[in-house]
Amino acid sequence: MDGGSAVTGSEMLVSTTLPDLPTEILECILSFADNKDLMVVVTCNSVLRDLGSRRLYRSLSDQGFSMERTRLMFGVLQSQPMLASHVRCCQLYLTKYSLPDTAQSDWNMVASALKNLRNLRTLKLWVVMCPRWILNDVYFPRLSSLDAYTPPRPEWSPITSSFLARHNHLTTLHIKGELETPFISLPPSALPRLHVLSVTNPNHVRLLAGPGRTSLKKVNIYPFSTSVSKAPIDGVAPALEALSKVDGNTIQEVVLRLESPCDFVSIGRSMTGLLSLRSLALHCDFKALQPVSIRKIWSEC
């Protein structure tokens, strides 16, 4: 060929290395890599480091971490905002076992690291024996789903309420807490986009599913209490009655998880105002029920 040499197929393949592939293909390849493989990928070159970091930091959890590993994770999120910006899903257990409640410098680091999670979409937050101020100024502009447990103490009520009021764009909210958990106080204008609400304290339904939540479609109620009191169960019927007062009567699906005997007839009657209800899922111990009780609740619905 005019004095030149022909290019073989193998030489053509060698000329295209992994980083030369389109970004979409590289992202597809890295989606099959586990965290151990991604740790190696990010050390290869700048292209793979950026793409690998996105996947490596996309989902974080400190569950089961030692104090040293917890400090390391929050230290990286604090000192490297670019890596923190990759986090989309985060699971945090802020307890006295994560960090000592007396370690002021460590909690300052945690607060600073949380502020760097600017692209966080989903947060699972379990707070026990943690300084209240840790959540005072935290704001996640893209947060859409929150699964939270805060201590059942009066001093935490305004902290939780303020956090929810700042995140007005939430579409999914799971609030865990025993019956003794103080009421969450929110104005009717708060959480206008809320689509799914799950609570362990039925009393929270009356506060979180009131007028103004016109987007609310699904409600899960699963009463929980460490005491033997029937109070959590007794709060279910009033909670369901409160749902009928939601503007536009938008509730289409209700899920009840009841683990102790209760007045199913009253529960059935409390749902008569849910005119848009299309689906009812009832999870309970049916061995304790008589067939007539089951017929009654369906007839009331």
Tens of pLDDT along the chain (301 residues) come to 455 555 555 555 445 677 677 878 877 887 787 777 777 777 777 777 777 777 778 888 877 677 788 888 888 889 989 889 989 999 988 776 666 655 678 888 888 999 999 999 999 988 776 777 788 888 999 999 999 887 777 777 788 888 888 998 999 999 887 655 556 777 777 888 889 988 888 877 877 776 667 788 888 888 765 443 445 556 777 777 777 776 556 788 888 877 655 666 677 777 777 777 888 787 766 554 555 455 555 555 5
Same-domain check for residues 168 and 293: yes
Same-domain check for residues 88 and 31: no
State the pLDDT at residue 292: 47
Task: Indicate the residue among 91, 125, 159 that finishes a domain.
Answer: 125
Same-domain check for residues 156 and 292: yes
Same-domain check for residues 62 and 27: no
State the pLDDT at residue 4: 55
In a domain, 16, yes or no: yes
In a domain, 21, yes or no: yes
Q: DSSP strand E in 128-207: where?
A: 145-149, 172-176, 196-199
In a domain, 160, yes or no: yes
In a domain, 2, yes or no: no
In a domain, 247, yes or no: yes
CB 156 within 8 A of CB 132: yes
Q: Which residue has the tokens 């599913």?
A: 209
Same-domain check for residues 180 and 229: yes
Same-domain check for residues 261 and 155: yes
Same-domain check for residues 190 and 99: no
State the pLDDT at residue 14: 47
Q: Show contacts of 259-265: CB within 8 Å, 24+ apart.
A: 259/223, 259/284, 259/285, 260/230, 260/233, 260/285, 261/230, 261/233, 261/288, 262/230, 262/233, 262/234, 262/236, 263/237, 264/289, 264/293, 264/294, 264/296, 264/297, 265/293, 265/296, 265/297, 265/300
Same-domain check for residues 297 and 214: yes
Q: Where are the alpha helices (DSSP H) in 85-129?
A: 104-115
CATH number, domain containing residue 182: 3.80.10
Same-domain check for residues 213 and 110: no
Same-domain check for residues 89 and 199: no
Closest CA to 148 of 88, 197, 194: 197
Report how far residue 287's alpha carbon sits from residue 221's, in angstroms, rounded to the nearest whole number.
Answer: 21
State the pLDDT at residue 96: 63
Q: Where are the alpha helices (DSSP H) in the chain?
A: 9-14, 23-30, 35-41, 46-56, 67-79, 81-84, 104-115, 157-166, 205-208, 231-234, 236-243, 264-270, 291-300
In a domain, 137, yes or no: no
In a domain, 207, yes or no: yes
pLDDT digits (tens, 9 = 90+) for 127-162: 776 777 788 888 999 999 999 887 777 777 788 888
Report how far residue 46's alpha carbon sits from residue 49's, in angstroms, rounded to the nearest whole number.
Answer: 5
Same-domain check for residues 35 and 114: no
Tally of domains in the chain: 3
Report how far residue 71's alpha carbon sits from residue 66's, in angstroms, rounded to the nearest whole number.
Answer: 9
Report how far residue 216's alpha carbon sits from residue 226's, in angstroms, rounded to the nearest whole number.
Answer: 29
Q: Which domain holds residue 39?
A: 9-56
Same-domain check for residues 87 and 200: no
Closest CA to 219 of 234, 205, 229: 205
In a domain, 135, yes or no: no
